[in-house]
Amino acid sequence: SRRETDNFNPHLMYPKVICVPDALRGFSPTLRNRVNEAGDTSGDSRGQLQRKPQSGQRGRRRMKANDRERHRMHNLNSALDALRSILPALPEDAKLTKIETLRFARNYIWVDVAVCAGVALGMTELVPQLHNHPSEV
DNA sequence: TAGGCCATCTGGTCCT
DNA sequence: AGGACCAGATGGCCTA
């Protein structure tokens, strides 16, 4: 990907600074459409507003399931935000993408934590090996 | 304009 | 039966 090749090398210990100037990040296109177009649902063929209104018990179940799924994904994103917040040396405006966050955390755990642990335990002979990353995920 | 990223919807599957 | 989880599909925004 462009972002990965230009800004983030998963083999680097830390990613380069990545600017994500998106004031609307966190708001889905669907929600933005709802706000901006006030009922004009063109262009969102799968959006809730343009879907056939589901009625009956099946429709109610589907809407509840959608709600739960939205909530579940928001929780997942909150967890990712929490992870981002504890990763070291990240400038304010350098919000990592999801995949970058996971890779960065993995590298951080694998190298920094493992090396520190190795040194602390006096296992210095293992430290050079820790710099050889296991296969990429 | 293509490609990356993202939020959301949806149906399937598994679990309680 | 209902909830959690997952993956595919879709469409909008952003950047090079």
Spell out the domains of chain A, with CATH numbers in brackets. 57-121 (4.10.280.10)
Instruction: Tell if A69 CB is < 7 Å from nucleic strand C.
Output: yes
Instruction: Tell if A20 CB is < 7 Å from nucleic strand C.
Output: yes
- Residue % of chain A over a pLDDT of 90: 1
Q: Does the structure show a pLDDT above 70 at A23?
A: no
Q: Letter for the amino acid at A65?
A: A
Question: Of all nucleotides in the shown strands, which has a C1' nearest the CA of A65?
Answer: C3
Average pLDDT, chain A: 61
pLDDT at position A45 is: 32
Q: Does the structure show a pLDDT above 50 at A43?
A: no
Return chain A residues 56..95 having CB < 7 Å to nucleic acid strand B: 62-63, 65-66, 69-70, 73-74, 77
Q: Which residues contact A62 (CB under 8 A, 6 or more apart)?
A: A54
pLDDT at position A136 is: 53
The residue that minimises its CA distance to C1' of C12 is A29
| Spatial separation of the C-alpha atoms in residues A48 and A61, rounded to whole Å | 14
- Residue % of chain A over a pLDDT of 70: 47
Q: Tokens for A88?
A: 């070291």
pLDDT at position A40 is: 35
Vertex A74 angle, CA A102 and A100, to 5°: 15
Ordered alpha helix ranges (H), A87-112: 98-107
Tell if the pTM clears 0.85, that is, is over it.
Answer: no
